[in-house]
Amino acid sequence: MAKEEIIKNGLYWPSEKYNNVELFRRIAKDKKNKTILLLLDGFGFNKMKKILSFKNFEKFYKYIKLEKITTIFPSYTPCVIPSLESGLYIGEHGIVGDNMPFREEGGQLNIYAYPWGEVAGLANELQVAPRNFIIEKFSKRKFVYLQDENLYKKYKNNFDVVSFKNVDMEPYIDFFDLVLKIKNYVLKNEKDLIYVYYDYSDEVGHKYSQEQYGEKLLSMFLSYLFENIIEPSIDNGYRIIITSDHGQVSFNKKKIVNFKIDSSFMKHLFYRPWGTHRVMFFEVL
């Protein structure tokens, strides 16, 4: 399918210049500005634009500049996050999904479930964990990474500990705890970069994708966030950048493709499919 046909069918073509990886690269190189970098999972441009059009956000318009960038391909969180945090594109770090084939291990591994922290040598040998570009730049400066408590616990047991072992990571238990932590760091004015990963926005989109209830939840979330951090950030010299790993679109459940193990298609594969439910890879005989 040609690029023009892909765009005509409603899909976005990743920009080589204006994408979220390039944004992270620019932030990492910036030694002048103090930054609050909020990575809101699944909170795409169209959703943000619609929610900011609600009346309760009018008082914030003087502070907001909305710009459109793309994500990268595949636009799947386990693929995109390593790119954003390392500054490497997926073709460079090679993480194309959760399950990936490792001939050294004789099969496929879920790279986010495997306890790389316990076998750091193997992780380095297989080059699974890309060295972290953002963290390398800010490790010598004042940097904090705020992470959901449940995901934080996973970092202690999987391969990310190889990349994040020298980073000041702090868990938060819920949205209110997160906002208060951001505000406290801003008021202390001790950090050059306050980096936040927030996955609740993606969960809301999956659960309430076709309902106004989901929009109301995200509107309340953004409004509370803005109320508490915009003015303190300005007073203490911080800029706020909000971006995402991907957006969300609706799909037709009748058009889902199932690859059954006993299908004739599978007989032509050297190796079972790997990647994600959005982007699948095959090795054909």
216 pLDDT higher than 70: yes
pLDDT tens digit sequence for 60-110: 999 999 999 999 888 888 888 888 888 888 888 777 777 776 666 566 666
235 pLDDT higher than 60: yes
Q: Report residue 70: phi and psi, to 5°.
A: -105, 170
Q: Which of 136-140, 156-160, 225-229 has the lowest mean pLDDT?
A: 156-160
Distances in Å between the Cα of 18 and the Cα atoms of 6, 14, 22, 26 are 19, 8, 7, 11
pLDDT at 3: 60
pLDDT tens digit sequence for 140-185: 678 888 988 887 776 555 545 445 556 678 899 999 999 999 999 9
pLDDT at 162: 47
Mean pLDDT on 127-138: 61
Distances in Å between the Cα of 141 and the Cα atoms of 131, 191, 256, 272 are 17, 8, 47, 45
Mean pLDDT on 213-223: 90
262 pLDDT higher than 70: no
Measured over the CA atoms of residue 106, residue 110, residue 116 and residue 118, the dihedral's sign is negative
Contact 270, 284 (CB under 8 A): yes
pLDDT band at 189 (very low <50, low <70, confident <90, very high): very high
* Averaged pLDDT score across all residues of the chain: 79
pLDDT tens digit sequence for 13-67: 667 778 999 999 999 888 889 999 999 999 999 889 999 999 999 999 999 999 9
pLDDT at 48: 93
Cβ neighbour number for residue 207 with a 10 Å cutoff: 11
Percent of the chain with pLDDT over 90: 34
What does the angle CA 84 – CA 224 – CA 34 come to, to the nearest 5 degrees? 45
pLDDT at 161: 46
pLDDT at 151: 77
CA 188 – CA 179 distance, rounded (Å): 14
Higher pLDDT, 207 or 129: 207
